[in-house]
Structure 1
């Protein structure tokens, strides 16, 4: 546990106001008017200085009668908590488990509890892909696996991984690999027989 004398109250206040994640795990702040305690990085509304108390561990904040913030989850035994990470992970899991189906952004967004616009933007910011691009990536990875490990032809593989239109499958495959499915299989055979 951190010694209270090592961090000044001014430093803790500055970290609270600026939502500084560097101080997460080093102290917690509690708001007298709401009865809630938070991590310094919490993006909740900035409290008034006179209403803030500081604690050096979550247990003491709870003993003092404060309840953990639902946004920053200071009660979890992890140093940093990113509530948006669960949205990203849930979205990936939904896509990876349902890539064969005709899934839509609106349905995924509903499942993870955000708007389609917000999910699209957040997912792209965090992964570099939109959910649609991630779906295509998952489908193409599975298609490559099927092309190399089964006797299915390209058309069958396209349908197997969720494409309704074979031309869409061919275009997506070529966009991702630079090769047609047949060329991909041929290249693999050539490299394994050399």
Structure 2
């Protein structure tokens, strides 16, 4: 459970706690420094770590924005995560802004890196995923395209 002090440090992006703990967000499998400028997650989705090696051992990826390990996140790994988000949430009204929030990066950097690695924009990839899902749903049925 997140204490009131930890929660306050997270929502205020307080850098004085950066050398004390990291927090992980269960829903997006990312961990951050308390000073991370990303939008604060829901309190109930947070796990706090005082051993900085534990979040990765528990399957969390370092945040692209605040780089809690002090080094950049590999672009290919980040693009795989973005693609997973697209595949899991293709039916929702997923904007670039929301995708950037979920992947802990800026919109422009996310779009640039995604296109560099995949030769497609996130919007193009999302359309491909949606068309594939529609085809899969239509082929075994008597439904029309409309």
TM-score w.r.t. the length of structure 2 is: 0.49
Answer with 1 or 2: which has the greater Rg. 1
Bigger share in helix: 1
Bigger relative contact order, structure 1 or 2 (CA pairs below 8 A, ≥6 apart): 2
